[in-house]
Amino acid sequence: MGFIGLDWLPRIAGALLLVVGAMAISRWQNVRLEKDMLLAVGRAFVQLILIGYALDLIFNTNSPLWILLVVLIMISVAGYTAGKRGQNVPRSKIVATIAVSVGALLTLGLLIVLRVFPFEPRYIIPIAGMIVGNSMTVTGLVMLRLRDDVRLQKPQIEAALALGATREQAVRQQLRRALATGMTPIIDNTKTVGLISLPGAMTGMILAGASPLEAVQLQIIVMYMLIGAAGFAGLTAAFLTYRQFFTAAHQLVLPDSNA
């Protein structure tokens, strides 16, 4: 197996010209993103080539242990990334990792139990990547919005606590807004799928030669599973995040912030 198909090199070079154009615009407007763009495309190329070789090896071994290992790595990286977005939330990386795990594992488990997809690396690993990535995004958004709302509305929350409300009752509105913030993007994407854009899974199947109707069937499953994952991960993130700002005696405690 070659490093990369020679027939693809001109296509990759052609796509790279678009990046060069974006870098030229950045330099022209003094945005100073040229180095970041160059680093991003370089890392993407190397990472995708490496993961291509790794997946080729895993698909050929067809071992369930490889599936579990890859999914755990995905969840760990996603939890760390979402936790960084929730900076100044106490134990943010632990909270994010648990939320991503719940969203990903519950969704994957249901898909496997209901036999939507067979438990094989070729199916589960790409599907897990979409689910974990979506759970990571939702988790980060929920944590960020809840953190900011609790800070901004500290007086109202403390007033509710003073009147006898529990910590959950005191932040109920903030919880709802945070969950809505996290889930709205995937809901909006589902509403407009096929009208504004053709999603990645569907586009990939069509480019690979599948019929449009086959691609549509897979995309329907993908959109539905992403909404489910968003619900599981978002609810878990909201529930765990707000608890980090309260003591066991229902007292509001906000950490110092440099943001």
pLDDT attached to residue 195: 73
Higher pLDDT, 82 or 212: 82
pLDDT attached to residue 1: 45
Nearest to 103 by CA among 134, 146, 65: 134
- Give pLDDT tens digits for 79-92: 999 998 888 888 99
154-to-34, 86, 89, 168, 180 alpha-carbon distances in Å: 41, 18, 15, 14, 20
- Give pLDDT tens digits for 92-151: 999 999 999 999 999 999 999 999 988 988 889 999 999 999 999 999 999 999 999 998
| Strand positions, DSSP E, 33-122 | none
Give, as one character, the DSSP assignment of residue 30.
T
Statement: residue 56 has pLDDT above 60: yes
Statement: residue 71 has pLDDT above 90: yes
Statement: residue 256 has pLDDT above 70: no
4: confidence class by pLDDT, cuts 50, 70, 90: low
- The most confident of the ranges 148-152, 233-237, 255-259 is 233-237
What pTM, to 2 d.p., does this model score?
0.82
Whole-number CA gyration radius for the chain: 22
Ranking 90-99, 169-178, 193-202 by mean pLDDT, the lowest is: 193-202
pLDDT attached to residue 259: 43
Q: What does the domain layout of the chain look like in residue ranges? A: 8-61, 64-243
β-strand partners of 246: 252
Statement: residue 6 has pLDDT above 70: no
